[in-house]
Amino acid sequence: MNYWYIQRLKTMTLPELVYRMGQWRQSNALKKEMGVRDAVPDCTVTPNLLPDCGHPLSATEHIDVFGIEIHPSDISDWSYDVHTQRSFPRAYAKNINIRTAANGSAKHVWELNRMLFLPRLAIQYRNTGDINYITVIMRLVSDWVKQNPYLTGINWHSNIEINIRLINWFLTWEILQADELMTRNSFFRDFLQGTWIPSIYQHCKFSHLHPSLHSSANNHLIAEYAGLFVASSKWVFKESRAWNRYAKQGLENEIFRQHSANGINREEAAEYIQFITDFLLIALLVGDYSGNPFTRAYKYMFRSILTYISNLLTIDGQIPRYGDEDDGRVFLLNNDVHDNNFVSLLQSGAIYFKEPGFLPNAKGPDQKNRLLFGNSAHTVFAQYKIPVTPVSSKFYPEDGHFFFKKRTAGGGEIYCHFDAAPLGYLSIAAHGHADALSFVLYMDGHPFLVDPGTYCYHTDTQWRHYFVSTRAHNTICIGGANQAGFVGPTLWVNHYKVNVKEYGLADDHEYVVASHTGYKKYRAYHTRKFEFFKPTNTILITDYIGGDNTTVEMPFHLHPAVEYELRGNRCMVSCAGRSMDMRLDPQMQWSVACGEVDPCLGWYSNRFYHKVPSPVIIGRMPCTSSLTLKTELVLS
């Protein structure tokens, strides 16, 4: 742990060290407020902001906590980890150590405490009129407030959790139409005024006092600004005007800082894109609905983000992975809690910008967009025909993302993402993986060559190290080392630089040449040329490697669902009627690894805290000076 703190300090600038000292002093001073219940604050409530969707709604009541299903009636301890069956202490929040598994996983506890399920209970009330749903909501929120006094316990530890909860409380309030409900239900009015509103105020106060700045200013900061903006737009306390200006300006700044000019999120974590974009979306809409709209520049960047999403997705709406993923959601408003939020966001873009080009193949808007946009959601679908656009490759050389695409006979697709992007964002690159010059391959939406995923953050060190490692990606690994220094669950040092040397887009031949500096300290280098010959559906990979007295590994991670047969330096891979002939470089010794644990190799994680054995075709050989390796993938 001391080593981690030393490495973490090295990532900080002098201004950040001064800021951190100020935060430490503030945290110590705030201990005296632990458990203090503020006097009921003066509050006026902005009338309903979300438009009436005017259509029947539906929702499931169950809660999925990383594969464990529970029901709202089962919740009794808000500090309880349902996976490890342990509870976090009721101590001062900032003193609780979340970097060990001693009390369970904070991630498990927070998933429940985000209250993503609460708006769905409100939907059930709207759909049925059953007052029992109001009773359940009142009980759950009252129990939460009672068990989590201000600054007490794990649920006051992280500011992002505070703000996700605020957003879900806002959505629950809006769906219930609580402004009107409180006028005809005295018990509900007393609950709002005596329990819920005072806790909302404390959440807003905490959000404003604990921003994630400097090297921590990633998706957490966007979440914090979005939650405070939404809450201060709805609930007007004496500080709300100042909070609102602060949060809105923060979002206006961070949407540009955390995205490239092409709308690509700088954290280099594909699944996080939907998470971050939902924060930006709910703030955008609340700004419009409250008469406090964001600037045209903000909206232009939001549109650029959606354009990148449309290029990122496969033909059937999947996201080829890169970087971390933890199944995080800002809110869950559809009946299917495992819905495709990327597709839903493209619907949001089509509705908001009135651009049918964003519309995925859907007959109408999903429930999330009906709730957020009201009747205008249907209007866009009804008025526009979805244009049939050709599948075409898209290169982002400035950002290091290259999407090779081809429409095949019968309406299928060859899809390949080549990653020549930076490690991650800011000095800690918290959610990046050491995956420079790696790639993934899909055919007709079926994954063939994959990024193995994430699996965990803090609780299983061995597995965390494996899933972020260079060996766990389809690139060259030299000397068994990572391309950057991994010193903690969300902390990288000695970041590599990637250089896109050359690229070309043509009807029959597309290519990119890139290198990185990740092995410079080992006096080694790696340059990769990645080519797609469209007429023959052939991918040619040429690797140029240099290094003295070292070993070279070339892994190809297969999806668990494919069938394969390795013979010498040829491997036939097939899935769902499509096949890939892998003609591997004969200089290397080729073998298969699957489900190995010492060391870890051959695993796939399709969701957080879940992993299965998965085959890796891996080549190994010594390198004494320089090598040129050629791999040919023939797709059919």
- For 162-202, the pLDDT digits (tens) are 999 999 999 999 999 999 999 999 999 999 999 999 999 99
Residue 111 has pLDDT above 90, yes or no: yes
CA distances from residue 340 to 89, 108, 346, 347 in whole angstroms, order as listed? 36, 22, 10, 11
Give 3-state DSSP helix, strand, coil % of the chain, rounded to 5.
Answer: 40, 25, 40
**Per-residue pLDDT band at 388 (split at 50, 70, 90):** low
Least confident of 333-347, 467-481, 490-504: 333-347
Residue 387 has pLDDT above 80, yes or no: no
CA distances from residue 483 to 278, 436, 468, 471 in whole angstroms, order as listed? 32, 8, 11, 10
Residue 256 has pLDDT above 70, yes or no: yes
CA dihedral 113, 114, 120, 123 (to 10 degrees): 110
State if pTM tops 0.85: yes
- For 208-234, the pLDDT digits (tens) are 999 999 999 999 999 999 999 999 999
**pLDDT for the residue numbered 281:** 98
What gap in Å lies between CA 150 and CA 154, rounded to an integer? Answer: 11
**pLDDT for the residue numbered 10:** 85
Query: What residues contact 363, with CB distance under 8 A and at least 6 apart?
Result: 381
**pLDDT for the residue numbered 389:** 58
**pLDDT for the residue numbered 5:** 77
Q: What three-state secondary structure class fits 488?
A: strand
- For 266-281, the pLDDT digits (tens) are 999 999 999 999 999 9
Residue 130 has pLDDT above 70, yes or no: yes
510 forms beta bridges with: 532
Pair of tokens at residue 361: 């193949």
The mean per-residue pLDDT over the stretch 38-65 comes to 86
- For 337-379, the pLDDT digits (tens) are 889 999 999 999 999 999 888 887 777 899 999 999 998 888 8
Residue 1 has pLDDT above 60, yes or no: no
**pLDDT for the residue numbered 101:** 79
**Per-residue pLDDT band at 96 (split at 50, 70, 90):** very high
The most confident of 15-29, 220-234, 407-421, 543-557, by mean pLDDT: 220-234
